[in-house]
Chain A
Amino acid sequence: DAGITQSPRHKVTETGTPVTLRCHQTENHRYMYWYRQDPGHGLRLIHYSYGVKDTDKGEVSDGYSVSRSKTEDFLLTLESATSSQTSVYFCAISPGTGDGYTFGSGTRLTVV
């Protein structure tokens, strides 16, 4: 997806290990978001950022933390991965609230 890159695309990790997913944008958008996608649940917001070092929790934030030290990068960390965190994770960006999102291609995370 133009202007937004997620890494890695796929990851398998063991229960109890920390995991960091990266989202990088070249659009200079203020807002960045992390969602998880699970069958039957659609897209659920984990955390979001409204500027450098400004972040807030979404509806499913337990077990996750985020950091944004630069406009272009938004990191999602699973502090101690659990099997319930097996999911597809999407990063999204938007220029402002009430604007459409641009999503990344996703990271498929499997916790074994």
Chain B
Amino acid sequence: GENVEQHPSTLSVQEGDSAVIKCTYSDSASNYFPWYKQELGKGPQLIIDIRSNVGEKKDQRIAVTLNKTAKHFSLHITETQPEDSAVYFCAAAGQGTYKYIFGTGTRLKVLA
């Protein structure tokens, strides 16, 4: 069935370093790829998204890249700060579908 694999499950980086989280999807019809950040005790919050007609998107220190041929997409966080510590989820969805498939999450720890 449709699946989204997310790696790594945990990631520790020093403050100021970069962090990269990778997701692979199985449904070639997927065309929308959002990323969510979840802080402790809160609901996930959309931080960036990308559609299949774009290869890369940036928003300040956050960027997402998409490789449709390989069916994977990645979240890049540069100059990490302690407030970036959270759980990050990727997701994939097909056009016109309610059906988002979420990855299992990456717990990012930024060490001061």
Contacts and interface: CB of A to CB of B under 8 A. Distances in A.
Interface of A: 1, 31, 33, 40-45, 48, 50, 56, 90, 92, 97-98, 100-106
Interface of A is mostly: strand
A103 B29 CA distance: 25
B100 A90 contact: no
| Most chain B CB atoms below 10 A, which of A45, A92, A100 | A100
A40 B97 contact: no
A102 B43 CA distance: 9
Nearest to B44: A103
Interface of B: 6, 31-32, 34, 36, 41-46, 49, 89, 93, 95-100, 102-105
Contacts of A56: 98
A42 to B, nearest CB: 4
Given A50-B98, A98-B97, 19 more contacts: A1-B45, A40-B104, A42-B104, A42-B105, A43-B44, A43-B89, A43-B102, A45-B98, A45-B100, A90-B44, A97-B96, A98-B31, A98-B32, A98-B93, A100-B34, A101-B34, A101-B44, A102-B46, A103-B43
Contacts of B98: 31, 33, 45, 48, 50, 56, 97
B42 to A, nearest CB: 6
Nearest to B51: A98
6 contacts: A92-B43, A98-B96, A101-B44, A103-B44, A104-B43, A105-B42
A42 B46 contact: no
